[in-house]
Amino acid sequence: MTTLQDVSLDTEGFMVDPNAWNPEIAEALAEEEGLAPLNERHWAVIDFVRKDWGETGESPTLRRITKQSGVNTKELYALFPKGPAKKVARVAGLGKPKGCI
């Protein structure tokens, strides 16, 4: 099983290879972000983001997440405070979304 110590991260802490991601890595990244333990609503967003990335090849934007994941903006900010699109992309093992600073 791949662990966080086994994966390469870029200078901002995003996984270099999203295909190396697994739920255990998500939990470790969530802990680093102060989001652990992940609950079913976190996983709903993470699963949506991973699925969307698989279909488009890019991390979805905040707007796309809130319009299509079933989690509204207020809840998304509660689940992933201070930069939800960036934090969920990191926990989901994806690169930084376009447009994020």
Q: 1-49, pLDDT tens digit by residue?
A: 677 788 999 999 999 999 999 999 999 999 999 999 999 999 999 999 9
Considering the entire predicted model, what is its pTM?
0.92
Name the burial class of residue 99, with classes exposed (0-12), middle (13-18) and buried (19+) by CB atoms within 10 angstroms of its CB: exposed
Catalytic annotation on 100? Answer: yes
- Under the banding of pLDDT at 50, 70 and 90, the label for residue 101 is low
What pLDDT is attached to residue 100?
A: 60
Give the pLDDT confidence of 38-89 residue by residue, as tens digits: 999 999 999 999 999 999 999 998 999 999 999 999 999 999 999 999 999 9
Which residue type is seen at 56? T
Measuring CA to CA, which residue among 33, 91, 95, 17 is closest to residue 60?
Answer: 95
Catalytic residue from among 10, 24, 100, 101: 100
Is residue 62 within 8 A of residue 85, CB to CB? The reply is yes
The topology under which CATH files domain 4-91 is Arc Repressor Mutant, subunit A (1.10.10)
HEC profile of 8-26: CECCCCCECCHHHCCHHHH
Ordered by start, the domain boundaries in the chain are 4-91
